[in-house]
Structures are given as structure tokens and as C-alpha cells.
Amino acid sequence: MPLKSIDPTTTSAWKKLTEHFHQIKDEKILDWFQKDDKRAEKFQIEWRDFFLDFSKNKISSKTLELLLSLAEEVDLNDAIEKHFNGDIINETEHRAVLHTDLRKKNKPEEVQQALAQMKNFSEKVIEGKWKGATGKKIETIVNVGVGGSDLGPKMVTNTLKFYKNHLETHFVSNMDGDQVAEILKHINPETALVIVVSKSFGTQETITNSNTIKKWFQNHNITDFSKHFVAVSANQEKAQEFGIDYKNIFPMWDWVGGRFSLWSPVGLTISCAIGFQNFEELLLGAREMDDHFQKTDFAENIPVILALLSIWYNNFFKAETEAIIPYSHYLQEFVPYLQQGIMESNGKSVSRKGNPINYQTGTIIWGQPGSNCQHAFFQLFHQGTKIIPTDFIGFKKPLNKNKKQHDKLMANFFAQTEALLKGKSKEEIAEELKYIDTEQAKKISPFKEVEGNKPTNTILIEKLTPKSLGSLISMYEHKIFIQGVIWNIFSYDQWGVELGKQLASKILPQIKNQKIERNQDSSTSSLLKRYFS
């Protein structure tokens, strides 16, 4: 059964939220804290090794109640059931959306087989039993893919660097040949293994980069590609046509979207880099979050609460962006990964009935690890004019036994959400400036004022492990789903991306033939002329 199509703005919850917004939009979160010493307790969720504090938001109990009734009115429960049941909820591609099946307890037979194949392969590579064409052990893995076939494996491999074995890992994704050239400069073809990841096996970037690497092997007199190339694809035929041995092809399925695929054989590089057991832990963490999402009341449900808060800011406060700030340097690639997940999924403007919609959907996601970003863009958070709801993600325990330094990092983590909440008042500034000449103090005082009242969520996790990372990724995956359901859009297609691909395929022959096509806009034509000259 397809998802229901309910325009959220026609629900009574939406109307009530609109009225409610006008009543509370200028209130100060800090005043609410002062009036209610139980506020933190009211707006927090403890789940396993996760703790979510969402009390530093522009919400009252009434707001939460109305947001929860919005979820009920659009029948989120029905959507969750259809999602996990494997109904065709990706209607425009006529597909089920079942990345959750890759990590559930009783996995489908084909998934079990693929996992066994991954385990066997990664163990062979790690233990040095997989030999290159000249008989040497594999030392370097090169993952070739783009979008979901790159961002997921790259993010997890790099985030879990602490758990990595001796294998060196590289990721080639860009059409820009400089990326692959720089990587090939530093690796030995005799000990390199390439994992070509492409669900379609037709993506220009991936095929071009793979061909470049093939040539590089040939230039080094290595022609037995079966020892140096494996592929992950839903298009086994095309992978074989490319020259990959059929025994070296791992499956992918049309019911797994590229940006949700790291749990499948797309995660083969992860499994090689951190070992299959850790890969299984990652799946387990995701499964536990799936269970939490599926079975917990909305009021206590982490992904539901995060999704509703985001809708509150996006659609009522008209916030245009949302930031995600992990206080762990290991999570450097987390935001670029989520940018694809969130923006490719929910950057849509047509309802599930096919009509244009007149309200905002997908938020713009950005961010970087703290504390670096405090010295980069946090000034704009504190004193800029924009509202930027932010998720702060931190870990209680450090991985590299340097507790003192971790305490300093975490002091910054807690201080930032406090500063964003409290700001700095005129009175506090006057007190600070009392020893300065009064004229000068008066002059600089307005520049030092910090308004505060900026919304944040704090997600505090016990420790960065494969399992907790699995839960964290799954948490955001479900947030994407919930928001798509409420916004009444299709989250699992990406037709917009196709247009650029089509136009590039028209421009390339013009470049090759140095000949401008007639029916093209004059800007593109003149740019091409300049490129030719």
C-alpha cells in the first residue's frame, strides 16, 4: 500500500501550531528555565547509551503536544508500518525502502548470503590470504564510487579509524582526475585492491575512475584484474561487461537506496578496514535504533522528537538551515554524509499526489566538528541575524586515553549550548566593563551584547563505538523518513540529480568536437567558446 497523502498544512495541528507560534515566538527559553526548574527533566530522553537533551529549544509543553498531534494527524504510525513492511513507499521508482532489513534480526536469505560473502572476503584480505597478481598480500583498499557508494563507506571507515586494522584505505569519487591521480601516486599496484561500488554500474564518475585505475594497473604490467578488482552492484551484467570476474561481484538490491546502503555490501570497505565483527556491531547499533523508533511512543521517541523540532523551526520560524556539530574529530565526514542523506531525500517540492507544494521542505544541512568551528563560524551563531537550530553531538569517554584533553573539549561542548541559550546581557557587560572609562564602555557595550535564545539539541553518547555509530546514523535516517512523511513528499527518489547528468552528456560531445550546439542558452555557449580557446 502506498503512503497516505495528507497536506500537513490542512491538519488542525498545523493550524493550532501557527496560532501557537505567534503566541510564543518572542519568548525567551531562559525565562522558561527560570520559571520551571524541572524543564530539563521534561525535555530529555534517555535511551541505552544515548541521552538527548532538547530542553534548550523554543518549545513549551504545549508546543510539543501540538507537534506530536501533527505526527498523529498525518498518520505517521501507518507510514512506519508500511516502511518496515516493505510496501512500495518509493512510488516514483516503484520500490520498497528496506535498508532496515539489512540489519534486522531475521534477515532475508539473500542478505545473509551477501553478509557471509563479505565476511569471507574481508577475512581473506585482512589475513593476507587474498593475494595480488604477483603473489603479494593486499595492503591498500581503494573504494571507487560516488554519492551513497562513497560517502557512507568513507564516513564510517574514517569515523571508526580508532578500530582500524593495518589496511590502508582510499576513496576515489570525483570526476576530477586529480583526485585519483594523487592517490595512485602513493600506492603500490601489486598490493592494491579496488572495490568498485555502483548500484547502477553506470555512473560516469565511477566508470571513468575505474577505467583510469585499470590503465594504471596495465601500465604496471598487471593484467589479471580478478586479483585486484571486485565490485558491488545491483547490475551484475554491467559489472561483468566492465571486466569484473563474476565471483568477485557482491550484490546490491533495488530496495536499498544508495544513500542508505552502507549496511549492505556497499560497506565492504568498512568490513575490510575494521573487520567483519565490528561491521556486525555497526548493524546491531542501527537495529537497536530501528527497534526504538518502531516501538516507542512518539513522546519518548528520539528520531520523532528530532524530526518534529526540525519541522517547528523550518516551517514556523522559517529557519533555512540546520547545523550539526559533532565534538569528535573522528566525525569529520559525518556532516558531508548527512548532507546527501538529508538533502537528496527531502529536497523536494511536489506533494505525494504530484502537486506543487506551498510550504518549505528539506533543510540545508551544514556543520563541522567542534571545537574547530568555534573559531570559524560560531561568531555568526552567537551574534548573527539568523536562526540556526543545531545538534551538538558529544561522547562521554575519549578513545585515546587523554581524559584531561577530553574534559577540555567537553567543557567547550557544554559551554557552547549554554552560551547559545543565555547570551550575555547589558548588565553582565556593564559589570565586566566597570573599570574602563565610561565613555569607552558605553561605546563598545552594544557590540559585546549576545542575544542568546538560540535553539540547540544535545546528544550525549557514552563512547564512539561501531555500535553507537550505527545507532547514530540510523537515528538520522529515521528523522529523514519522518520529515518526508510529514511534508508529504517522496524521500527516496532523486530525479533532480538526473538533469545535470543529462546536460553534461550533451556538453561533452560539444567539447570533444569543439562545436557549439545551436539551441543552447547564450551564457553556456559563450562559456564553452571561452573554454575551447
- Interface stretch with ligand F6P, choices 62-70, 197-205, 350-358, 504-512 (CB under 6 A): 197-205
Segment lying near ligand F6P (by CB under 6 A), choices 147-155, 241-249, 271-279, 479-487: 147-155
Min CB(314)–ligand F6P separation in Å: 23
Q: CA-based angle 283:286:288, to the nearest 5? A: 110
Binding residue count for ligand F6P, defined by CB under 6 A? 14
Taking Cα atoms as reference points, which of 135, 327, 122, 310 lies closest to residue 230?
Answer: 122
Q: Closer to ligand F6P at the Cβ: 199 or 292? A: 199
- Calculate the alpha carbon distances from 220 to 29, 138, 212, 213, 215 in Å: 64, 16, 13, 11, 9
> Would you call 127 a catalytic residue per the annotation?
no
Catalytic residue from among 22, 295, 375, 401? 375
Is the Cβ of residue 20 or residue 199 nearer to ligand F6P in the bound state? 199
- d(CA 532, CA 519) in angstroms, rounded, equals 18
Q: Which of 259, 287, 406, 479 binds ligand F6P (CB under 6 A)?
A: 259
Q: Which member of 132, 147, 267, 398 binds ligand F6P (CB under 6 A)? A: 147
Backbone CA torsion sign across 89, 67, 388, 43: negative
Active-site residue identified among 205, 280, 344, 477: 344
Least gap, CB of 261 to ligand F6P (angstroms): 7
- The piece of 114-122, 198-206, 279-287, 392-400 that touches ligand F6P (CB under 6 A) is 198-206
Beta-ladder partners of 394:
460
- Whole-angstrom distance, CA of residue 477 vs CA of residue 292: 13
3-state helix, strand, coil in the chain (%, to 5): 55, 10, 30
Min dist CB 199 to ligand F6P, Å, is 4
Q: How far is the CB of 140 from ligand F6P (least distance, A)?
A: 22
Residue placing its CB nearer to ligand F6P in the complex, 257 or 303: 257
To the query of whether residue 439 is one of the catalytic residues in this protein, the response is no
User: Interface residues for ligand F6P in 261-290 (CB under 6 A)?
Assistant: none
For the chain, the C-alpha Rg in angstroms (whole number) is: 25
DSSP H or E stretch at residue 325:
strand 321-326
Q: Among 397, 361, 312, 252, which residue's Cα sits nearest to residue 62? A: 312
Instruction: Kindly indicate which of the ranges 143-151, 166-174, 326-334, 521-529 contains the residues binding ligand F6P, using the contact rule CB under 6 A.
Output: 143-151
Q: Does 348 bind ligand F6P (CB under 6 A)?
A: no
The answer, yes or no, to whether the previous bond of 310 is cis (omega within 30 of 0) is no
**Is residue 220 within 8 Å of 189, Cβ to Cβ?**
yes
Residue whose grid cell is 501540538: 66
What x-and-dash track marks residues 474-513 binding ligand F6P by CB under 6 A? Answer: --------------------x--x----------------
Residue 149 beta carbon to ligand F6P: minimum distance, rounded to whole angstroms: 4
CB of 234 to ligand F6P, least distance (A): 8
For ligand F6P, which is the closer residue by CB, 199 or 467? 199
Q: Determine the Cα angle at 96 with ends 92 and 99, to 5°.
A: 125
Residue in 501, 506, 515, 529 annotated catalytic? 501
> DSSP labels for 353-417?
TS-B-SS----EEE---TTGGGGTTHHHHHHSS----EEEEEEEE-SSS-HHHHHHHHHHHHHHH
Residue 128 · residue 237 · CB < 8 Å: no
Candidates 48-56, 142-150, 242-250, 431-439 — which segment interacts with ligand F6P by CB under 6 A? 142-150
Q: Under DSSP, is residue 286 helix (H, G, I), strand (E, B) or coil?
A: helix
| CA–CA separation, 315 and 15 (whole Å) | 12
Residue 90, φ and ψ in degrees, nearest 5: -95, 75
Position among 60, 203, 456, 458 found at the interface with ligand F6P (CB under 6 A) = 203
Instruction: State which residue, 99 or 199, has the beta carbon closest to ligand F6P.
Output: 199
Length of the chain equals 533
375 is catalytic: yes
Q: Which is nearer to ligand F6P, 261 or 471 (CB)?
A: 261
Residues 91-130, interacting with ligand F6P (CB under 6 A): none
Report residue 278 as a C-alpha cell. 565490528
According to CB under 6 A, which one of 148, 189, 285, 470 is a site residue for ligand F6P? Answer: 148
Dist. CA 8–CA 5, nearest whole Å = 9
In the list 20, 82, 103, 199, the residue contacting ligand F6P (rule: CB under 6 A) is 199
Cα–Cα distance for residue pair 234/345, rounded to 1 Å: 20
Question: Per CB under 6 A, which region of 103-111, 141-149, 177-185, 479-487 contacts ligand F6P?
Answer: 141-149
C-alpha cell at position 462: 557514552
CB 257 → ligand F6P: shortest distance, Å? 7
Chain mean position to CA 73: 28
357, 351 Cβ separation under 8 angstroms: yes
Give least dist CB 89 to ligand F6P, A: 17
Pick the binder of ligand F6P from 57, 143, 198, 371 (CB under 6 A).
198
The residue within the footprint of ligand F6P, chosen from 153, 189, 258, 370 (CB under 6 A), is: 258
Task: Give contact residues for ligand F6P (rule: CB under 6 A).
Answer: 146-149, 198-200, 203, 206, 258-259, 344, 494, 497
